[in-house]
Amino acid sequence: EAGVTQFPSHSVIEKGQTVTLRCDPISGHDNLYWYRRVMGKEIKFLLHFVKESKQDESGMPNNRFLAERTGGTYSTLKVQPAELEDSGVYFCASSQGGAQPQHFGDGTRLSIL
Amino acid sequence: EDQVTQSPEALRLQEGESSSLNCSYTVSGLRGLFWYRQDPGKGPEFLFTLYSAGEEKEKERLKATLTKKESFLHITAPKPEDSATYLCAVQAATNAGKSTFGDGTTLTVKP
């Protein structure tokens, strides 16, 4: 069984540019989550999809972040425009049920210059 | 607000020297507590889920326990390959899905 896959693994962009991260969950997992870890801090929740619907987006920092999951399969997280404080590692996870263990991808390391 | 505190921040052990990692939590009704292992450059890898006080889970040299305020990850006779960061996370009963993580404990096991 393929695990959670994230693209790209690394991204370096300049402040003000746009970046789109992609996540392919484990096949059959309706629940998809985005988290991020900024330097020296703990992993923090961003949002939760159930199929194509946003179940909880309480962790999204501001309106420069847009997450989509069209068709309930893969998800994208767009940052536009990127700011210096957006640097960090963005993790995607998926699970079968909302209270089930979450399986994580290896993350996208985002650096804003 | 849900909170998770892990201690110690770092732990260095000799191979075969058993020890425990602590995860203290406050949550408005616990749905589940999760332990993960994370290797450098990788995502968290699921180890255990604990749902109620008194519950215990075991896997190889690892054993996780849960009380109403904290969880312990006991490591028996560790090996160098057990070196990693161990993360604890909780989910509240009112918000299944959202996990609140601690900062982790970085374990180094010397041969």
Q: Is the pLDDT of residue B5 over 80?
A: yes
Please tell me if residue A31 touches chain B, with a CB cutoff of 8 Å. yes
CB contact (8 A) between residue B44 and residue A4? no
CB contact (8 A) between residue B98 and residue A104? no
For residue B98, what are the contacts with CB-CB under 8 A and spacing of at least 6?
A: A33, A45, A48, A56, A58, A59, B91, B92
Backbone angles phi, psi at B80, to 5 degrees: -55, -30
pLDDT recorded at residue B97: 87
For A24-57, the DSSP string reads: E--TT--EEEEEEE-TTS--EEEEEEETTEEEE-
Please choose, from the candidates A80, A102, A60, the residue with its C-alpha nearest in 3D space to the C-alpha of residue A14.
A80
Please tell me if residue A102 touches chain B, with a CB cutoff of 8 Å. yes
CB contact (8 A) between residue A43 and residue B97? no
Query: Mind listing the pLDDT tens digit for each residue in B29-58?
Result: 999 999 999 999 999 999 999 999 999 999
pLDDT recorded at residue A97: 84
Please tell me if residue A87 touches chain B, with a CB cutoff of 8 Å. no
Please tell me if residue A55 touches chain B, with a CB cutoff of 8 Å. yes
Q: Which residues partner with A75 through β-bridges?
A: A23
The C-alpha atoms of residue B88 and residue B33 are separated, in whole angstroms, by 7
Query: Mind listing the pLDDT tens digit for each residue in A16-73?
Result: 999 999 999 999 999 999 999 998 899 999 999 999 999 999 999 999 999 999 888 9
pLDDT recorded at residue A12: 98
**Chain B residues touching residue A42 (CB < 8 angstroms):** 4, 101-104
pLDDT recorded at residue A70: 85
Q: Is the pLDDT of residue B84 over 80?
A: yes
Q: Is the pLDDT of residue A100 over 90?
A: no
More confident residue, A98 or A77: A77
For B102, the closest of A42, A56, A98 (CB atoms) is: A42
For residue A91, the chain B residue with the least C-alpha distance is B43
Q: Which residues partner with A77 through β-bridges?
A: A21, A67
Size of interface A-B (CB pairs under 8 A): 59
